[in-house]
């Protein structure tokens, strides 16, 4: 049995646990908050039920996959994993602490991956004594549906680790793309300035959120407008990524829009809180 652990059971953690369990892995899903774990299991089940309805998954395979997911509130439970994918809150100090602890509790050959959107893999690796086995495994949201995994090589990541994680991603029916470790990598370095500019358009009264999104959907053939996408990602996550781009690249073009800051301060984080640029039931 292939054993892996996911740390953080939020928007991304539940999706990552879903695809690994469906791919035959024994998954330990870990979060500090029990309600997050309960919610994650409910979301995974709902999403797998949807796959069954669409005949993408059999009922027996769904039940087997669900049976492979265990939930835990203690990080120590990651100990027996051959791969850990960290998907906790996007905060550098938190990730550094988690990797220090993971380095202590897991076997020396365990690969430690982060799903971070923007924090330096090289810096995270600096909090372990196995930088060759630390790598970025950046899944896209919603994980079960999106094909891409951005594989981020830190300065010390070995060829062997990169090859293994690339192979694992392919085995989950994902398409891995290798990139180097610079702020925002590729996906967010390009996506976040667009989202930020969309927020500026709303703040400056250029157009309503609906109009901005319609322009980008119909005019640029984007499947989803940038503001609806920001609500899906989480406005707090968007702000955190923009802060990393701004400080890491030192260019004022990445400064977060004041309206984005206000919305995060007001707790309007998008879908996960029921309100962002749009309202959700
Ligand atoms: P989220 O806020 O939905 O979930 C984060 C989870 O981490 C929460 O459940 C929280 O309780 C948990 N957590 C916090 N501290 C922890 C700890 N010490 N141990 C275990 N769990 C802990 O966040 P998210 O959107 O799922 O993002 C998670 C990571 O994935 C971030 O690094 C983010 O940048 C990245 N990411 C997010 C998206 C997206 O669209 N939201 C896309 C790609 C990557």
> Averaged over 192-205, what is the pLDDT?
98
Whether the predicted pLDDT of 1 surpasses 80? no
* Segment 146-166, tens digit of pLDDT: 999 999 999 999 999 999 999
* CATH number reported for the structural domain that contains residue 115 in this entry: 3.40.50.720
Residues 72 and 197 in one domain: no
> Averaged over 246-262, what is the pLDDT?
97
Marked catalytic residue, from 115, 118, 169, 188: 188
Q: Which of 180, 204, 231 is the last residue of a domain?
A: 180
Q: Ligand 1 centre and the CA of 86: distance in Å? A: 8
Domains identified in the chain, total number: 2
For residues 141 and 53, what is the distance between their CA atoms, to the nearest angstrom? 21
> Averaged over 102-114, what is the pLDDT?
98
> How confident is residue 118, by pLDDT bands cut at 50, 70 and 90?
confident
Residues 114 and 193 in one domain: no
Distances (CA, A) of 273 to 5, 211, 236, 281: 26, 23, 11, 10
- Cα–chain-centroid distance for residue 235? 14
Q: Specify which residues 150 forms β-bridges with.
A: 138, 177
Residue 110 and residue 2 in contact, taking contact as beta carbons nearer than 8 Å: no
For residues 153 and 178, what is the distance between their CA atoms, to the nearest angstrom? 7
Residues 7 and 143 in one domain: yes
Active site residue 18: no
**Residue 280 forms part of a structural domain:** no
Residues 58 and 168 in one domain: yes
> How confident is residue 65, by pLDDT bands cut at 50, 70 and 90?
very high
* Pocket (CB within 6 angstroms of ligand 1): 7-13, 30-33, 36, 87-90, 94, 98, 115-117, 138, 141, 233-234, 237
Q: Ligand 1 centre and the CA of 14: distance in Å? A: 10
The minimum-distance atom of ligand 1 relative to the CA of 33 is: 11
Residues 8 and 139 in one domain: yes
DSSP character at residue 74: -
Residues 168 and 205 in one domain: no
Give the rounded percent of residues in the chain with a pLDDT score beyond 70.
100
117/210: higher pLDDT = 210
Residue 45 and residue 21 in contact, taking contact as beta carbons nearer than 8 Å: no
Residue 30 and residue 98 in contact, taking contact as beta carbons nearer than 8 Å: no
Give the rounded percent of residues in the chain with a pLDDT score beyond 90.
98
Q: Ligand 1 centre and the CA of 13: distance in Å? A: 7
* CATH number reported for the structural domain that contains residue 262 in this entry: 1.10.1040.10
In this structure, the strands spanning 111-114 and 134-139 are parallel
Active site residue 188: yes
Which range of residues forms the domain containing residue 35?
3-180
**Residue 104 forms part of a structural domain:** yes
The order of strands in the sheet holding 3-7 is: 69-72, 26-30, 3-7, 83-86, 111-114, 134-139, 148-153, 175-180
Q: Ligand 1 centre and the CA of 141: distance in Å? A: 12
Testing ligand 1's pocket by substitution, the residue of 5, 6, 11 carrying the most ligand atoms inside 8 A of its CB is: 11
Marked catalytic residue, from 86, 90, 150, 243: 150
Residue 26 and residue 4 in contact, taking contact as beta carbons nearer than 8 Å: yes
**Residue 246 forms part of a structural domain:** yes
Active site residue 150: yes
Residues 75 and 173 in one domain: yes
Active site residue 59: no
């Amino acid at each position: 049995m292939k054993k892996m652990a996911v740390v953080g059971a939020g928007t991304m953690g539940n999706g990552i646990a879903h695809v690994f369990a469906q791919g035959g892995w024994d998954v330990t899903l870990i979060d500090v908050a029990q309600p997050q774990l309960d919610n994650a299991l409910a979301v995974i089940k709902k999403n797998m039920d949807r796959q069954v309805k669409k005949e993408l998954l059999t009922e027996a395979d769904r039940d087997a996959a669900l049976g492979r997911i265990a939930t835990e509130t203690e990080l120590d439970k990651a100990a027996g994993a051959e791969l850990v994918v960290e998907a906790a809150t996007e905060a550098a100090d938190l990730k550094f602490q988690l990797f220090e602890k993971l380095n202590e509790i897991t076997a020396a050959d365990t690969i430690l991956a982060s799903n971070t959107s923007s924090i330096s893999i090289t810096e995270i690796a600096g909090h372990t004594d196995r930088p060759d086995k630390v790598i970025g495994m950046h899944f896209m949201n919603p994980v079960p549906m999106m094909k891409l995994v951005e594989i981020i090589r830190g300065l010390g990541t070995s060829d062997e680790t990169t090859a293994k994680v690339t192979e694992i991603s392919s085995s989950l029916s994902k398409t891995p793309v290798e990139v180097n470790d610079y702020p925002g990598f590729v996906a967010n370095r390009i996506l976040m300035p667009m989202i930020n500019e969309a927020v500026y358009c709303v703040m400056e009264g250029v157009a309503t959120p609906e109009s901005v999104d319609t322009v980008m959907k119909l005019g640029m053939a984007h499947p989803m407008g940038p503001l609806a996408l920001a609500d899906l990602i989480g406005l707090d996550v968007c702000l955190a990524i923009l802060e990393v781009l701004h400080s890491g690249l030192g260019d004022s073009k990445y400064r977060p829009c004041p309206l984005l800051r206000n919305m995060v301060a007001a707790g309007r984080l998008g879908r996960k809180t029921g309100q962002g640029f749009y309202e959700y039931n």
